Structure 1
Amino acid sequence: MINKRINQVKRLISDTVAFLHLKLYIPPENDKVLLISFTNPNLYHRFFYLMVKFYQLSGYTICYPMNFSRFRNLRNKDRYLGLMVREKNFLSINKKNLPPNVIELKDEMFSPDYFVNYFEQQNKQDNVFHVPMSFHPFMYNQGIWDHTINTDRKRFNSIFCYGNFDEQAYLDIKRTEFTVETRTGLLAFFQKKENFISIRGREEVISAGDTLNEKYVFAIKENYGIRMEDIRELLSRFNFYLCCPGVVMPLCHNVIEAMSVGTIPLIQKEYAEVMYPNLRHRTNAVLFKDLNELEHLIHNEIFKYSGQEILTMKNNVLEYYKKYLSPAGMVKNLNQSILEKKLIYLQAEHRSVKFIK
């Protein structure tokens, strides 16, 4: 009990010092300012941080007036949302000398009901904007999201996949209204194939020569947990990326990381249709409806595309990323949506899924 109290006092002192530093921070003059007038950013946890981080990366000064209570709540309640007040010079809490063309974010402009259009409105996009999925938050926080990658290198004409395939953690999606195949189901599907390979390190890819062509190459986390700074470079060595769903919804950050280097998504149709704009078969993705269609694709189609077809799809993927998924592209589209007074859907992960009827 005494130790708990001591730790509480230490936390209070640490928070007080950090808050005083933030009060004293005066950002440089900037005509591009984002004003946050949000009472409940915790509803959206990591996705709120990511949206605001995109504005910062796009050259905006972030202004978020707050009292000590809200500061402590942000700093200590969510590991990703807390980055907003833990990153050095990320935001200012002083609402002074704001330019006339400030962009303001308010609670009532947003909704966490991210999938309502898909399930109830035939996926119509009139007067709405879906803030897209993005990389893992730490890739932006650690400044490794935009490392230069050679997207023109010779690639393995293979399907690559990486991530956590824990059987218990990734079965929750079966209890939702989504019908996508689970990531453990996709792994089991490919493990039965003769050309399945589970790699245990980066060197197995770097020194493979042509031996990895027309293979199904998996980096399973328990065998090979890829360093975050290596992810995009490794992805850039393959033509195709198998998109596995997240814990409770199709969307997962891995597909965005793959598209950022022009690796073509091999993706289930339902997954592609909750990305906006929807991914299109043989334009900027290879789509399959179910495992039967996936079986047909890998045996009769995907490794038989011409070099020109692969190049066209790769370039389309890079263009899609730049226009819709990059920080500059997302901010441009979100600003336009704000100007047009569209309803903005921002993910809240488990909370968003709970809205599905």
Structure 2
Amino acid sequence: MIFYKARRRLRKWLMDNYWFYKTIILKRFESVPKNQKKVFIEIDHITLNRYLYNFIKFFTLNNYTVYIPKNKRVISVLNQKKGEFVYGSWILKERVRIGEPENADLVIGKNQLSNNYFRGKVGNSYHVPMSEYPGIYRHGFFNEVESIQLKRKRSIFMSGNIDAAFYNNISKAGFFEIPSRSQVADFLKKKPYSLEFNNLLELKSFINEEADYKVVLVDTSKQFRIPLKELKNILQKFNFYLALPGILIPQSHNLIEAMSVGCIPVIHRTYAELMFPPLKNMETALVYDSWSELDEIILYSFNLEKSILNSLRENVLEYFSKYLSPGAVVKKIEENDFSTIYIQAEEESLTLLKKDISE
């Protein structure tokens, strides 16, 4: 047993050193664009996940070269590419350098970063908002959007994984008072306004036809996936987006993608209140709090006055630009010396929430 543990430690030490020195050498051959600002982000003690990738990507999208600590463990983890680790590995594909730079324009220290995302706003703190799917930022698909469409379907749209094997967990966990994605889908499928398609061609045909006033759910686990490159141009054909919770937490990237093109969220109160700042009924969303309210708000949305519809869309686009866009996040950090910057980490964030509750 002792020999086995020693062998495992040796193997880990060797792999950590291999990935560390390989990365250091490769990064030395990468050119750094001139006139770039420098930000040093100490990521030693937070979860290396998709949300951290997006956070770092926001800076590279806004004329920064990002520097991260010369930490063997961190560099080794960032070289793993299985499962959720793949998003962390994308960090090294960005304009990222290893080690602390001289004369950094901005420093985000390890004492500032926290995954305790569900702690209420404490003092001078900032919750980095939920962001879009990482692949959208990585491949630049946020630039693939045609001019924002004003002529849209009155129908409510949602595309995402609705597999009950995963998307009932939020209800079982008991942290949030919100029906699961699967529960909402099951409720809506029984309604006369529910509509499903077998493939992307059928969906596009519906978009181009006169038929309307439906709730369109695309279950990507059973039906079809919309290619990332086409997603936003599909989204902006609809006035409304049904914001359903994620696996363990209410927030999900689907909502942010929809808001980026002016879709008005149809959203549960719990979810709306967890946005920073909260989404407000009849200002930046249509908010419901019960099954009967969801049904009522859907029927109401079908007959909403055009002037109110346009006002809501303008508010949503303004909200996205002011709070959710990469530029808005970077500007917020540049202009404020936050004592704590909270970054989402799902399971780790829930573990920290549970710890806070028990204390």
Same fold? TM cut 0.5: yes
After superposition, give the CA deviation of every residue in 1:156-209 in whole Å (9 maximum; x if it has no partner): 001101111111111211113201111111111110011211122333233334
Distance 2:28 2:35 in 1: 18
1:57 counterpart = 2:71? no
Instruction: Compute the TM-score of the two structures, normalised by the length of structure 1.
Output: 0.87
Unaligned runs of 5+ in 2: 1-12
Distance 1:114 1:17 in 2: 34
1:185 counterpart = 2:165? no
**CA pair 30-65 structure 1, distance change in 2 beyond 3 A:** farther
SS in 1 for 2:141: coil
**CA pair 130-9 structure 1, distance change in 2 beyond 3 A:** closer
1:37 counterpart = 2:42? yes
After superposition, give the CA deviation of every residue in 1:261-304 in whole Å (9 maximum; x if it has no partner): 000000001100000011011111100011121122223x2112
Contact 1:35 1:64 in 2 (8 A): yes
User: What is the deviation of 1:69?
Assistant: 4.6
Contact 1:264 1:317 in 2 (8 A): yes
Distance 1:63 1:72 in 2: 16
Which of 106, 109, 123 is residue 109 of structure 2 equivalent to? 106
1:272 counterpart = 2:298? no
Q: CA RMSD in A?
A: 2.5
1:215 counterpart = 2:214? yes
**CA pair 243-125 structure 1, distance change in 2 beyond 3 A:** farther
SS in 1 for 2:142: coil
Distance 2:314 2:45 in 1: 39
User: What is the deviation of 1:14?
Assistant: 7.5
Paired amino acid for 1:321: F
Task: State how 1:123-138 maps to structure 2 within 5 Å.
Answer: 126-138=123-135
**CA pair 320-32 structure 1, distance change in 2 beyond 3 A:** same
Contact 1:156 1:210 in 2 (8 A): no
Distance 1:107 1:259 in 2: 31
1:330 counterpart = 2:335? no
SS in 2 for 1:34: strand
User: What is the deviation of 1:32?
Assistant: 1.7
**CA pair 11-72 structure 1, distance change in 2 beyond 3 A:** closer
**CA pair 241-32 structure 1, distance change in 2 beyond 3 A:** same
**CA pair 24-321 structure 1, distance change in 2 beyond 3 A:** same
User: What is the deviation of 1:105?
Assistant: 1.4
User: What is the deviation of 1:103?
Assistant: 0.9
Which of 52, 65, 80 is residue 87 of structure 2 equivalent to? 80
Distance 1:94 1:9 in 2: 21
SS in 1 for 2:167: helix
Give 4+ residue runs of structure 1 displaced > 3 Å after superposition: 8-19, 67-70, 94-97, 209-212
Distance 1:210 1:75 in 2: 48
After superposition, give the CA deviation of every residue in 1:294-329 in whole Å (9 maximum; x if it has no partner): 122223x21121111111111111111111111101
**CA pair 169-28 structure 1, distance change in 2 beyond 3 A:** same
Q: 2:98 — aligned with what? A: 93
**CA pair 278-10 structure 1, distance change in 2 beyond 3 A:** closer
Percent of counterpart pairs with the same letter?
30
Contact 2:132 2:254 in 1 (8 A): yes
Q: Which moved more, 1:236-245 or 1:195-204?
A: 195-204
Contact 1:158 1:212 in 2 (8 A): no
Q: 2:197 — aligned with what? A: 199
User: What is the deviation of 1:133?
Assistant: 0.4
Contact 1:150 1:236 in 2 (8 A): no
**CA pair 345-16 structure 1, distance change in 2 beyond 3 A:** closer
Q: Which moved more, 1:150-159 or 1:319-328?
A: 150-159
SS in 1 for 2:103: coil
Q: Which moved more, 1:310-319 or 1:341-350?
A: 341-350
